Amino acid sequence: MNRRVVITGAGVVGSIGTGVDEFWRHCLQAKSVVAPIPANWEHYAALHSRVWSPLPDIDPEYLGVARTERLQLDPGSVLAIGAAREAFERAGFSLVPDAKNSRVFTLAGVDAARIGVYLGTGIGGAYSFLHNHTHHLSQRARATLKAYAETRAPAQDRETLDGVLALMAHGPRYHPFVVSMLMPNASSAAVAIKFSLTGPNVTYCVACASGTVAVGNAYRAVRDGCVDVAVSGGCEYLNDEHGHIFRGFDIAGTLVRNCADPEAANRPFDEQRSGFLFSQGGAAVLVLEDLEHAQRRGATIMAELIGFAETFDAHSMMSLAPGGEQIERVLRTALADAGVGVHEVDYINAHGTGTKNNDETEAEIIDRVFGKSVRVNSTKSLVGHTIGASGAIEILVTALSLRDQTTHICRNLDAPLRDLNFVRAVEQFDLRVALSQSFAFGGHNAAVVLRRFS
Amino acid sequence: MNNDVQQRVLKAIAEVLERKETEIRLDASLRDDLAFDSLKQMTLFILLEDEFQRTITPDEVMGVVTVKDIIGFIDRKLQEPAPT
């Protein structure tokens, strides 16, 4: 069985916007949110990068997640539920509150067993792990030290002890739901519980390629007839109270270094790039659907998914293999899966992190495989890097670009590292076939091919 | 029994159960009348920890059976100094 697979709905939460309309409008306006990292993070370590891309205050109504639900979920899962809810509504599904529990919905008129959930995350519930780990490690030690400071410590030591006590700050409890909050599969489980979906339920944990791999496998599941509808995408929450996660990427030398001018710090594919902009997180969820199923429902189609491939470098945990042989293979295999030639590709939404190594290798491969005419941009130049959500966000941007026959610029690109057709202005163009690609720590490569729907 | 505490406890129970506060009787048993399972009970005590800014350990609430028991328990907890 080889069915046509179309995107009928989408939802997104990112640093530059909540909801597809706002997010896309801000993409086309080249909006980016860059702010200093929380001041207390620098009390724990000497950090090289000093900026990040924080999420906005998100309207609880958008998320549709009650306080009692949020208490039991990692923030990454909450973002996924919010994006999934928007995606279902945009796809035209009627969400009917369950008779016994009005916080749980069923989708009217569709077979829940034929709807699968395929989500990606790079670090799962790391926030929940770290939040509770800090409590586990510090709570008793801090209480003991505090009692000493208040009763027996010499007066001249009090200021020092108060400083140490402040560093040992922790949350109010060791959470009884911590296991189900931190497990990486919690996000796809949470989405399926919220919307009563009983089809296959899988979480892909493939670092920065997680979202792309999730959407790609969801595409295959619909194409091959395993499900009629697939809820697919990625989510990530990279914040924590003490900057642990940020420090991990910072010490690896992957984050932007030139932070004196925050607005100019994030510059994928530019000669002056110095690393990627760390994002607080985000989520993008797409509703993929069998074309005939979508047409029977009268759904509006955003774009068509036509190809997917994955390869693995088998070279290094943290560096792309020189020459990019497996990246070239993933692109050619995805195009073969789609049945299109390299010269038919009009636009590439690149991985485009802004690291020296990634951008140089990626640009070289694009030049070698596609030449200089294909349009190229990096959504990370606006949003920063959301790790496991990034691939899904970029597939969404690619689908919206196909729908509207335009796309966003590659921000802060003053001196391109290579002579490619980087998008420098928002303008209409004939966009029929597009490609979105992701490369991940570990050595995972993935690419998805999309086509304008007609 | 502190009326403010009673109202806030009833509100938390209603929020966990998705019912109206007026439907919650003070002598109702959490398990037998209100169908609280262990997960709902944990959720309730987390909500109450946040609401009253006190730590509630599982051992402390072992003997809690009715809504009135919870209100009495919270009343007593509030006599303890607030954590800093």
Query: In this structure, what token pair is assigned to residue A424?
Result: 């420098």
Can you give the pLDDT of all 454 residues of chain A as single tens digits?
A: 789 999 999 999 999 999 999 999 999 999 999 999 999 999 999 999 999 999 999 887 788 999 999 999 999 999 999 999 999 999 999 999 987 778 899 999 999 999 999 999 999 999 999 999 999 999 999 999 999 999 999 999 999 999 999 999 999 999 999 999 999 999 999 999 999 999 999 999 999 999 999 999 999 999 999 999 999 999 999 999 999 999 999 999 999 998 899 999 999 999 999 999 999 999 999 999 999 999 999 999 999 999 999 999 999 999 999 999 999 999 999 999 999 999 999 999 999 999 999 999 999 999 999 999 999 999 999 999 999 999 999 999 999 999 999 999 999 999 999 999 999 999 999 999 999 999 999 999 999 999 999 8
Contact (Cβ atoms closer than 8 angstroms) between residue A118 and residue A210: no
Query: In this structure, what token pair is assigned to residue A37?
Result: 């990292």
Verdict on whether the full-model pTM lies above 0.90: yes
State residue A193 phi and psi, 5-degree precision.
Answer: -65, -45
Q: Name the interface residues of A facing B (CB cutoff 8 Å).
A: 66-68, 71-72, 101-103, 146, 172-173, 175-177
Query: Is residue A435 classed as helix, strand or coil in its secondary structure?
Result: strand
List chain B residues with CB under 8 Å of A101. 18
Q: Which of B43, B58, B83 is closest, CB to CB, to A71?
A: B43
- Nearest Cα neighbor of A305 from A376, A399, A213 is A399
Chosen for mutation from B11, B42, B77 (greatest number of chain A CBs closer than 10 Å) is B42
Q: Which helix (H) or strand (E) holds A3?
A: none
Task: Point out the catalytic residue in the list B27, B32, B33, B37.
Answer: B37
What DSSP string runs through A350-362?
------HHHHHHH
Query: In this structure, what token pair is assigned to residue B14?
Result: 């209603």
Query: In this structure, what token pair is assigned to residue A143?
Result: 């209480």
pLDDT at A289: 98
Burial class (CB in 10 A: 0-12, 13-18, 19+), A241: middle
List chain A residues with CB under 8 Å of B50. 172
In the chain, the amino acid numbered A384 is: G
Q: Which of B18, B46, B83 is closest, CB to CB, to A71?
A: B46
Nearest-angstrom CA–CA distance, A143 and A131: 17
Half-sphere exposure of A350 (CA within 13 A, CB side): 31
Nearest-angstrom CA–CA distance, A31 and A205: 29
B49 to A172: CB separation less than 8 angstroms, yes or no? yes
Would the pLDDT of B1 be above 70? no
The answer to whether B59 is a known catalytic residue is no
Tens digit of pLDDT for each residue in B43-83? 999 999 999 999 898 888 888 999 999 999 999 999 987 77
What DSSP string runs through A97-140?
E-SS-TTSEEETTS-GGGEEEEEE-SSTTHHHHHHHHHHHHHHH
Query: In this structure, what token pair is assigned to residue A129?
Result: 């792990």
What angle do helix axes B38-52 and B3-17 make, rounded to 10 degrees?
140
- Nearest Cα neighbor of A398 from A371, A357, A446, A437 is A437
B46 to A101: CB separation less than 8 angstroms, yes or no? no
Q: Is B43 on the interface with A (CB under 8 A)?
A: yes
Residues across chain B: 84
- Nearest Cα neighbor of B49 from B15, B14, B3, B83 is B83
pLDDT at B84: 65
Instruction: Report which DSSP code applies to A434.
Output: E
Find how far residue B71's CA is from the centre of its chain.
6
Residues across chain A: 454
- Nearest Cα neighbor of A209 from A313, A291, A121 is A121
Q: Is B42 on the interface with A (CB under 8 A)?
A: yes
Contact (Cβ atoms closer than 8 angstroms) between residue A257 and residue A274: yes
Nearest-angstrom CA–CA distance, A371 and A343: 9
Query: In this structure, what token pair is assigned to residue A205?
Result: 């944990």
Taking phi over 0 as left and psi of -120 to 50 as alpha, with beta for the rest, A185 belongs to alpha
Burial class (CB in 10 A: 0-12, 13-18, 19+), A73: buried
In the chain, the amino acid numbered A53 is: S
Q: Which of A71, A103, A177 is closest, CB to CB, to B18?
A: A103
Strands in chain B per DSSP E: none
- Nearest Cα neighbor of A393 from A402, A403, A401, A383 is A383
Strand partners for A276: A255
Catalytic machinery residues of A: 208, 351, 385
CA torsion A348-A354-A357-A359 (nearest 10°) is 20
Contact (Cβ atoms closer than 8 angstroms) between residue A11 and residue A119: no
In the chain, the amino acid numbered A49 is: S
Nearest-angstrom CA–CA distance, A120 and A215: 8
pLDDT at A107: 96
Please say whether the dihedral angle defined by the alpha carbons of residues A118, A121, A122 and A125, taken in this order, is positive or negative: negative
List chain B residues with CB under 8 Å of A68. 15-16, 43, 47
State residue A252 phi and psi, 5-degree precision.
Answer: -80, -5
Contact (Cβ atoms closer than 8 angstroms) between residue A7 and residue A287: yes
pLDDT at B2: 75
CA–CA distances in Å: residue A345 to residues A310, A379, B3: 18, 18, 69
CA–CA distances in Å: residue A140 to residues A144, A146, A169, B45, B53: 6, 10, 11, 21, 18
Nearest-angstrom CA–CA distance, A408 and A29: 7
pLDDT at A326: 98
Min distance A140 CA to chain B CA atoms (Å): 13
Nearest-angstrom CA–CA distance, A94 and A299: 12
Q: Is B21 on the interface with A (CB under 8 A)?
A: no
What DSSP string runs through A22-64?
HHHHHHHTT----EEPPGGGGGT---S--EEBPPPPPPHHHHT
Nearest-angstrom CA–CA distance, A328 and A366: 8
